[in-house]
């Protein structure tokens, strides 16, 4: 079976990539600027090209063609545990680089994940701006605040997930229903 080719932005250690790989996708190119994570990513994904430059320095022409883009722009700007500077933090502005690449590459779909703090009222204008830019890029959006515990992960972990399908595909992502059973740490051990 042919795997669907995706690129990964703000890849970290590759958690999203691993989930997509298990679902039948193949990460062909990834970008991560944090040198403390490179070895872990490269160990987990030895056949994926890892671009280690700042995303702000990468031209869209240097990124291979793909069917999808996944990634989690840095969350520190939006985290309730941090200073919560949002769009006023240079890391918060990196969301625009994800959008820049999406607009130019025009893959069939994309997925963005981020912390629940991005939904805080003080970030509403920035979050709504991101959604509008995704729509303006030509994507039909679905987004939701989900708890990983609702999907068989033995941890309460709230994340905002945004999924977009290119408008010409006439598709809309439907989030799966939460599982009835909520696993606990004992289940994982």
- Please compute, for residue 8, the number of CA atoms within 13 A of its CA located in the half-sphere on the CB side: 28
Half-sphere exposure of 90 (CA within 13 A, CB side): 3
Contact between 159 and 149 (Cβ < 8 Å): no
Q: How far apart are CA 42 and CA 113, in angstroms?
A: 21
Task: Verify whether residue 66 is a known catalytic residue.
Answer: no
Question: Coil, strand, or helix at residue 6?
Answer: strand
Element (H, E) at 125: helix 124-136
Name the active-site residue from 55, 75, 94, 137.
75
Which residues are annotated as catalytic? Answer: 75
């Amino acid at each position: 079976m042919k795997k669907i080719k995706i690129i990964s932005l703000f890849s970290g250690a590759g958690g999203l990539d691993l989930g997509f790989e298990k679902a039948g996708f193949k990460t062909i190119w990834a970008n991560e600027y944090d040198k403390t994570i490179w070895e872990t990513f490269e160990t987990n994904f030895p056949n994926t090209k890892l671009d280690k430059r700042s995303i702000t320095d990468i031209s869209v022409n240097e990124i291979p063609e793909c069917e999808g883009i996944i990634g989690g722009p840095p969350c520190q700007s939006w985290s309730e545990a941090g200073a919560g500077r949002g769009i006023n933090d240079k890391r918060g502005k990196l969301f625009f680089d994800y959008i820049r690449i999406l607009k130019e590459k025009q893959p069939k779909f994309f997925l963005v994940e981020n912390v629940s703090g991005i939904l805080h009222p003080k970030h509403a204008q920035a979050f709504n701006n991101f959604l509008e830019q995704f729509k303006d890029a030509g994507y039909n959006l679905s987004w939701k605040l989900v708890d990983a515990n609702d999907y068989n992960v033995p941890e309460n972990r709230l994340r905002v997930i945004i999924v977009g399908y290119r408008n010409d595909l006439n598709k809309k992502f439907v989030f799966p229903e939460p599982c009835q059973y909520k696993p606990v740490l004992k289940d994982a051990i």
